[in-house]
Amino acid sequence: MLILNSGGTFNKRYNPLSGYLEVPYDNYAIEAILDSFNKKYALAGVVYKDSLEMDFNDRKMIANIIVESSDDSFIIIHGTDTMKQTAEFLSEIFTDKKIILTGAMKPFEIDKIEASLNLGMSIGFMSAIAEHGVYICMSGHIQSWDKIKKNREIGKFEIV
Amino acid sequence: MKKALFLDRDGVINIEKDYLYKIEDFEFIDSIFEVCKYYQNLGYLIFVVTNQSGIARGYYSEDDFDRLTLWMIAELKKNGVNISKVYYSPHHPDISGECFCRKPKPGMIVDASKEFGIDLKNSVMIGDKERDIEAGLNAGIKTTYLLDESKSIKNSKATHIISDLKEVINADSK
């Protein structure tokens, strides 16, 4: 299994120089969570962006890594705003992979529980499922990407 | 230096359909996996070199092409075939001017040769149009196969005219 970090709120940290929450060019949040597991996972940083800034080339970069990889299961840490868009894109290309996109509504730096829960659920689900497909794990749900969406008004993902 | 198998896309890897860009319209041609695996097992790298003037004509975008290409590479890989790289020419001389990449020009093959260190003389080109064969010859490839499923082509610069991709394996193993 390969974990890919594409950024998003999950990773955001406060930059005291700019005064903003920014997506850092590192995998600190994921590594901190994985350190509590008694197991090693392959992890690679890919894009490091707020998902509203992600474009087709960023999604292509993620897809290229999956194409080149010998792994068949992937967890992608992703911003929540365009998570579904990336999931749909990947579902068009890959029919023989297990791919789970997850993220967080609040940065790991601010709320360590939500980000940890989502990544932990994703890892657990990945080892339990047999069917290939593209899934989204958010707000306590894990569903095929087309059966879950973000409700922006309440700030949660819901089953549709 | 490594040897390579150069494949045209439309009419060789997939059934020719005008200005194809949708995944659902893409149908692999029988035997393409077998032919690729045959050369792969002999140590050849595999490249796709394809004219995509539909981009210059505005029929589809480079993003559409990229999406289909990613899917095609993933499907080939699922069937045991590793594509080293897909080269494409998005140009058309009447729209975007002359270029060095659109077949029969050898640009895409030459680029692959430079990027991957390919022994072109001992490489193989398979196409379904004379311009594919000419591109191969212009790049210095000696062994060329023209796929003519209709068996209507009598004259070609290709070293072999075949009506079924499997004939490549038979011809090569002799």
ipTM associated with this complex:
0.85
Q: Which residues contact A91 (CB under 8 A, 6 or more apart)?
A: A133, A134, A145, A146
- Exposed / middle / buried, residue B135 (Cβ in 10 Å: 0-12, 13-18, 19+): buried
pLDDT given at position B80: 95
Q: Which of A63, A95, A96 sits opposite B70 (nearest CB)?
A: A63
pLDDT band at A116 (very low <50, low <70, confident <90, very high): very high
Q: Do A93 and B66 touch (CB under 8 A)?
A: no
Q: What is the mean pLDDT of residues A133-137?
A: 98
Q: Is A104 helix (H, G, I), strand (E, B) or coil?
A: coil
- Residue B99 has a pLDDT of 92
Task: Please tell me the total count of domains within chain A.
Answer: 1
Quote the pLDDT of residue A129.
87
Q: Under a CB-based contact definition with an 8 Å cutoff, are residues A5 and A48 in contact?
A: yes
Check pLDDT > 90 for residue B172: no
* A73 vs A3: CA distance, rounded Å: 9
Per-residue pLDDT at B173 exceeds 80: no
Residue A137: per-residue pLDDT: 98
Look at residue B164 in the predicted model and tell me its pLDDT: 94
| Out of A60, A66, A95, closest to residue B66 by CB | A60
DSSP states along chain B? -B-EEEE-SBTTTB---TT---GGG--BPTTHHHHHHHHHHTT-EEEEEEE-HHHHTTSS-HHHHHHHHHHHHHHHHHTT----EEEEE---HHHH---SSSTTS-HHHHHHHHHHTB-GGG-EEEESSHHHHHHHHHHT--EEEEE-TT------SSSEEESSTHHHHHHHT-
First to last CA, chain A: 28
Instruction: Count contacts between A and B (CB, < 8 Å).
Output: 25
Q: How far is B64 from chain A (nearest CA, A)?
A: 10
Q: Is B8 a catalytic residue?
A: yes
pLDDT at B143 over 90: yes
Q: Which DSSP state fits A106?
A: S
SS3 at position A118: helix
Structure-model confidence comparison of residues B154 and B14, the more confident one? B14
Q: Nearest-CA neighbor of B6 among B49, B39, B37, B40?
A: B49
The predicted structure's pLDDT at residue B59: 96
* Res B174 pLDDT > 80: no
- Flag whether pLDDT at A37 surpasses 90: no
Probe site for chain B from A93, A95, A96, A99 (most B CB atoms < 10 A): A93
**pLDDT given at position A59:** 97
User: How high does pLDDT run on average in chain A?
Assistant: 95
Residues A72-112: pLDDT tens digits?
Answer: 999 999 999 999 999 999 999 999 999 999 999 999 999 99
**Is B74 within 8 Å of A56 when comparing Cβ atoms?**
no
End-to-end alpha carbon distance in chain B: 23
CA dist A140 → A96, A104, B94 (Å) = 25, 11, 56
Best probe of the A interface among B70, B71, B81, by most A CBs < 10 A, is B70
Angle of the A83-93 helix axis to the B62-78 helix axis, nearest 10: 50
Structure tokens at A147: 């059966």
Residue B128 designated active-site = no
Range of the domain at A144: 2-159
B4-172 classified as CATH 3.40.50.1000: yes
SS (H, E, C) B121-148: HHCEEEECCHHHHHHHHHHCCCEEEEEC
Chain A CB contacts of B67 below 8 Å: 89, 92-93
Say yes or no for a CB contact (<8 Å) between A94 and B74.
Answer: yes
Do B71 and A64 count as a contact with CB atoms less than 8 A apart?
A: no
pLDDT at residue A96, as a whole number: 93
Provide the shortest C-alpha distance from residue A25 to chain B (in Å). 26
Residues B44-61, mean pLDDT to the nearest whole number: 96
Structure tokens belonging to residue B95: 């729209």
Question: What's the pLDDT score for residue A55?
Answer: 96
Cα(B151)–Cα(B163) distance, integer angstroms: 6
**Cα B136 from Cα B144, distance rounded (Å):** 7
Average of pLDDT values for A37-64?
93
Tell me if chain A has a CB within 8 Å of the CB of B79.
no
- On the question of a cis peptide bond just before residue B104, with omega within 30 degrees of 0, the verdict is yes
B71 interfacial to chain A (CB closer than 8 Å)? yes
Q: Verify whether the Cβ–Cβ distance A67 to B74 is below 8 Å.
A: yes
Token pair, residue B129, equals 């149009």
Q: Which of B8, B128, B132, B148 is catalytic?
A: B8
Q: For residue B14, what pLDDT is reported?
A: 97
Give the per-residue pLDDT at A131.
Answer: 93
- As a whole number, mean pLDDT of residues B96-103 equals 90
Q: Closest approach of chain A CAs to the CA of B20, in angstroms?
A: 16
Query: What CATH number has the domain bearing residue A63?
Result: 3.40.50.1170
Phi and psi of B161, rounded to 5°? -110, 125
pLDDT score at B97 = 84
Band of pLDDT at residue B154, cut at 50, 70 and 90:
confident
Beta bridge partners of B85: B47
Average pLDDT over residues B141-156: 94
How close does chain B come to A28, measured CA to CA in Å?
30
Contacts of B63 (CB under 8 A, 6+ apart): A56
The whole model's pTM is what?
A: 0.91
pLDDT confidence tier of residue B93, bands split at 50, 70 and 90: confident
